[in-house]
Structures are given as C-alpha cells and as structure tokens.
C-alpha cells in the first residue's frame, strides 16, 4: 500500500509488516494510550505539548516503564528522516505489552506510525453533531478506549452527522476526538475544563482567543448549547471546525459565526505560517 | 515457551508467533469482544452457551461480518485436536480488524488461543474484595475493555485483596471478571441482573441453586452487602469462589458459609462429573 516505515519498539519496519503478538494487552484488554501530532513542512507542530501529554498519560496508566523522553525524540526524528513526508501525522501508541496470563503488566510496547496528511489552510464548511449521553472513564487521559465512539458510527451515518457530542448529567463535555466550544449570546467563548481531554489545539486556541474575546473554561449545559450563538470543535487535524447544527437544530443562525471565523484564521496563522 | 498452536483467521500458527498488524482496531481503538470457555477431560464445558454469548457480543458491536457458527465450531475442534490438552481454556477474540484510517471497520480479525488450565475440584479459601465506583460502558457485552480493572491492579496489591467489586449509584453490580452473589440474613440468594455481564457460570449456578434456596435476580445495595450472611463470586475458571471480607469488614461471620459450600459442591459436581 505504501513505502512508509513504522517504528516498533525502536526498530524501523515496513508499515505493512508492523505487528504485535496477540497476547499484547491492547488486544487482550484494550489497555493502551496514545498521542498524535502533525508535521507541517517537515516540522512537528506543538511537539513538546504532545510529548508532555503522552508522558502524563503513560505515567497515569502505569505504562511509563522504560520510557525515556530523549530516546523517544530521537526515534521520532529517525522515523521522519526515513519517511520524508512533507505534511503528515505521527501516532505514538503505547500498549500494556505482552502478558502470557492476559492480565499482568510486563514491558509496554511502543509503536510510532506516520501517515501522510492533507491539512486544509481554509476554514471548512460547518458540520452537524448528534448528542449522546456518555462519560469517558479516564477523561483526562488519552487512552485507546474508543469503544463508544466506534459503536456510534452507524448511528452517525443514519443521522447524517459528522460527529458525536458527549454529555453526562446535563453537562456537555467533548466530542470523541475533539474539544467543544460555544460562543454565548454575550459573546463569551466557553469550553469545559473537567471530565474532558485537554486538547493541545484547545490550549493554543484559548491562548490565541484571549486577546480577542472573553474566554471561560467552565461547565456547559445542554441549555447553554441550545442558546449558543456559535459553536465549533477543535483537534490536531480539524483545527477550528465550525458546528452549525446540533440534534437537528441550528446553532445560532445556522451559519459559521464571526468569532469562529476569526479564531480559525488565528489558529491557521499560528499552525501554518508562524512555526 | 510452549509448543501450543493458536488460530488466527482460520490458520493454525505456533502460539508464540500469532500476531496482528498494528492497524488493528483493538490496538488503535480498544475495539473488540471475546469469550472464554474451559475444557475438562478434553470436553468443552457449556460450549453452546459461550458461543451464543460470543455471537450476541459480536452482533451488538457490529463485528459479526463473516462470522459463521458452524465454521467457528470446526475451528475450535481443529485447535483442540492440534493442541491435545486435557484441561484447558480457549479464548475467542474478535477485533475491529485492520483500518488504514484507524477508525473505519472493514473485516474483523478472529483469534482462537488455547491455554493449559489447572482447575481445582475443591472449594477454595475465601477471598477479600475492595469496592470501587464504576459502571462498565457496555455491561451486557463481553468487550475487551478492562481499562479500569487493569488500572486498579496496584490498588488491589496495596490493599491485599484478590478482586474488585464494582458499584454505581449505590448499587453493587459485579467484579471485573466474575459475577457477585450474596446470601441474605433470610437465606435468599441474590445477584444483580441489570448492568452486569450475564455469566455462563452465573446462569448454571442459579439453575442448580433453585432447588435448594430461594433465588432472586435483583438489585443489591451496598447496605445489602454489609448485612449479607454470605457472599461469593462465580466465573468460568473460579467456579464458586467464597468472599469472606469486603472493604476490610467480614462478610457475615467472616468464614465460608454453608450455602456457599453447598452451591460450590453442586457446581463442581456438574462441571467435573456430570459432563
């Protein structure tokens, strides 16, 4: 399929041959964490943030045995040099490792996989979301647990929406792979800070926004969403992606709002032209 | 390590070489289901029940593409014939399959792995449990999601307990890999029926018990547990395993109760001598 290489436990192997034995605890018990960063013009974007979060996830899930920041950075560079992709993403996956009893941790396995990406420099058309009641079990950790998100795919197709918006106890949290923001009627930019994954794009977006709009990291209720003037989601590959409809109801006027546009431009500027 | 064989997508391979490519959705997204049955004197125990549940899990998680009951039964027999184990367990794992985009289902991968087991014919010493607030996200489905259970392992070791007892909203449900039963002061055998995995051993135990004690499949509160006279857990390998302490407090008199003993004997009789 491609001539790319993947790194498994420090060794470069053709991407199509990279494998793990079936007694790995990701296959046996869904146990693993990961992170994903993009590379623009051969340069990783917000790499230190991603590695910080990766190490935090690894430590929290007791997978940081044998993990070394300097060694990991060297491996990332080795992989990028081998694959020579101009615009791409690298996914670092750390699994529970091999366990003959299917349960007891030994040595984690680490996989670095690089994929070509085509990132848009333009703001994308607004998308539709469907809400679903769910709370991720380790919200602040980037685990590989996407059972619910994957299971909801047929429902997404049936409802012709691009993504799911999780809520729990009336509180709107995040999408499965993106953070969620609203702009209130008063023009305040809000995103939840609890029970969500703290996205790297979320962090930089909040910093960029703070010079332009009032920002609040706070609880967002389902009612707040119904009354919102604008909404959008953020992620490493989606950047600022406008949301124009939630549960078949338009967000605000049902078109991309001006704050969303401004923030999308500020973020694109930072990602594509300031690095 | 051993001369056993594992079956991957219908092909027998030496157990130590069985592998999946890293773009499998179990490794990428923790997406998969499994089942596990035991083999005593070369004969599978409650096999039809396990296959029923496996197909139900597969169907619910949209993994039943290409799955055929007759073909699976033939593969199980082929594996047993190859490995020639007298007492063993077979784990059937069905994963989300390979996905280049790390997200979209294609063809699931199926792994049949057989392990030697040494099953006790005697009632085991009573164990200690620690409660933890958690609700599995697809309780009736045997998914590979054991993130919480695995993550709690250090806490189990620190507290010197053998297993975790989940509860949610005051309601006691199950252990990560076993069903939970109490015998009330009035001598009623109770186990929850909602938000738990319906164990095969649970089912047969309830049938066996019904001729001897009053049984109820009903809500069990934390207070019910504190007032219980006896408690035990059941699973395919544990059979009836007595529980004598929960959260550092004795269950009843803190010794194995007479109903627990009776039920353990009835189950052992059925598993080891009636099949």
Tell me the ipTM for this assembly. 0.96
Output the tens digit of pLDDT for each of chain B's 275 residues: 469 999 999 999 999 999 999 999 999 999 999 999 999 999 999 999 999 999 999 999 999 998 999 999 999 999 999 999 999 999 999 999 999 888 888 899 999 999 999 999 999 999 999 999 999 999 999 999 999 999 999 999 999 999 999 999 999 999 999 999 999 999 999 999 999 999 999 999 999 999 999 999 999 999 999 999 999 999 999 999 999 999 999 999 999 999 999 999 999 999 999 86
- Please count the residue pairs, one from chain A and one from chain B, whose beta carbons lie less than 8 angstroms apart: 127
Is residue B153 within 8 A of residue A105, CB to CB? The reply is: yes
- The set of residues, in sequence order, having a beta carbon less than 8 Å from that of B256 and lying 6+ positions away, is B123, B126, B230, B242, B244
Is A93–B147 a contact, with Cβ atoms under 8 angstroms apart?
no
**According to the model, what pLDDT value does residue A104 have?**
87
**According to the model, what pLDDT value does residue A1 have?**
47
Contacts of A150 in chain B (CB under 8 A): 25, 29, 31, 96, 103, 105
Is B31–A150 a contact, with Cβ atoms under 8 angstroms apart?
yes
Rounded Cα distance between A24 and A109, Å, is: 8
Closest alpha carbon within chain B to A22: B19
Contacts of B145 in chain A (CB under 8 A): 29-30, 145, 147
CA distance A144 to chain B (A): 5
Rounded Cα distance between B8 and B114, Å, is: 12
**According to the model, what pLDDT value does residue B104 have?**
87
* Selected residue of A16, A30, A88, A176 to mutate for chain B interface (largest B Cβ count, 10 A): A30
Is residue B272 within 8 A of residue B121, CB to CB? The reply is: yes
Contacts of A23 in chain B (CB under 8 A): 113
Is residue A244 within 8 A of residue A251, CB to CB? The reply is: yes
CA distance A215 to chain B (A): 32
- Whether the CA torsion A184, A186, A189, A190 is positive or negative: it is negative
Place of tokens 């910080």: A52
Place of tokens 């029970």: A195
Contacts of B151 in chain A (CB under 8 A): 61-62, 138
CA distance B263 to chain A (A): 28
Contacts of A29 in chain B (CB under 8 A): 144-147, 149-150
Is residue B38 within 8 A of residue B89, CB to CB? The reply is: yes
pTM for the structure as a whole: 0.96
User: For the segment A34-44, what is each residue's pLDDT rounded down to a tens digit?
Assistant: 999 999 999 99
Beta strands in A65-210 (DSSP E): 88-95, 109-116, 127-133, 163-168, 171-172, 174-175, 178-183, 189-191
**According to the model, what pLDDT value does residue A34 have?**
98
Rounded Cα distance between B275 and B266, Å, is: 13
Of B61, B95, B137, the CB nearest to A27: B95
Is A147–B146 a contact, with Cβ atoms under 8 angstroms apart?
no
CA distance A135 to chain B (A): 9
Closest alpha carbon within chain B to A117: B101
* Selected residue of A97, A104, A147, A158 to mutate for chain B interface (largest B Cβ count, 10 A): A147
Rounded Cα distance between B109 and B94, Å, is: 6
User: For the segment B236-275, what is each residue's pLDDT rounded down to a tens digit?
Assistant: 999 999 999 999 999 999 999 999 999 999 999 999 998 6
Contacts of A26 in chain B (CB under 8 A): 26-27, 30
Is A146–B30 a contact, with Cβ atoms under 8 angstroms apart?
yes
Closest alpha carbon within chain A to B103: A150
Residue ranges in chain A whose pLDDT is less than 50: 1
Contacts of B111 in chain A (CB under 8 A): 22, 27
Q: Of all helices (H) and strands (E), which one includes residue B215?
A: strand B215-217
Q: H helices within chain B, ranges in order? A: 25-29, 47-60, 69-83, 147-151, 153-158, 200-209, 222-227, 258-268
Is A143–B147 a contact, with Cβ atoms under 8 angstroms apart?
yes
Rounded Cα distance between A166 and B148, Å, is: 20
- The set of residues, in sequence order, having a beta carbon less than 8 Å from that of B18 and lying 6+ positions away, is A21, A22, B6, B8, B111, B113
**According to the model, what pLDDT value does residue B274 have?**
80
Contacts of A16 in chain B (CB under 8 A): 21
Rounded Cα distance between A235 and A45, Å, is: 12
Rounded Cα distance between A124 and B75, Å, is: 49
Is A27–B8 a contact, with Cβ atoms under 8 angstroms apart?
no
């Amino acid at each position: 399929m491609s001539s790319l290489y993947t790194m498994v436990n420090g060794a470069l192997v053709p991407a199509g041959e990279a494998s793990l034995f079936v007694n790995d605890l990701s296959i046996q018990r869904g146990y693993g964490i990961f992170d994903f960063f993009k590379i623009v013009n051969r340069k990783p974007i917000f790499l230190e943030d991603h590695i910080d979060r990766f190490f935090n996830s690894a430590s929290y899930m007791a997978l940081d045995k044998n993990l070394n920041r300097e060694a990991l950075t060297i491996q990332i560079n080795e992989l990028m040099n081998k694959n020579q992709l101009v615009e791409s993403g690298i996914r670092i996956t750390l699994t529970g490792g091999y366990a003959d009893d299917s349960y007891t941790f030994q040595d984690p396995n680490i996989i670095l996989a690089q994929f070509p990406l085509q990132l848009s420099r333009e703001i994308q058309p607004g998308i539709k979301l469907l809400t679903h009641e769910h709370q991720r079990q380790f919200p602040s950790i980037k685990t590989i647990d996407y059972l619910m998100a994957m299971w909801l795919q047929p429902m997404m197709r049936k409802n012709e929406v691009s993504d799911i918006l999780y809520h729990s106890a009336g509180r709107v949290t995040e999408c499965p792979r993106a953070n969620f923001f609203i702009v209130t009627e008063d023009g305040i930019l809000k995103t939840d800070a609890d029970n969500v994954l703290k996205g790297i794009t979320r962090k930089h977006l909040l910093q960029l926004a703070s010079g332009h709009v009032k920002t609040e990291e706070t609880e967002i209720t389902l009612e707040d969403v119904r009354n919102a003037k604008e909404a959008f989601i953020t992620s490493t590959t989606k950047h600022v992606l406008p949301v124009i409809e939630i549960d078949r109801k338009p967000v605000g006027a049902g078109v991309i709002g001006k704050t969303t546009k401004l923030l999308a431009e500020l973020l694109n500027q930072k990602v594509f032209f300031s690095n």
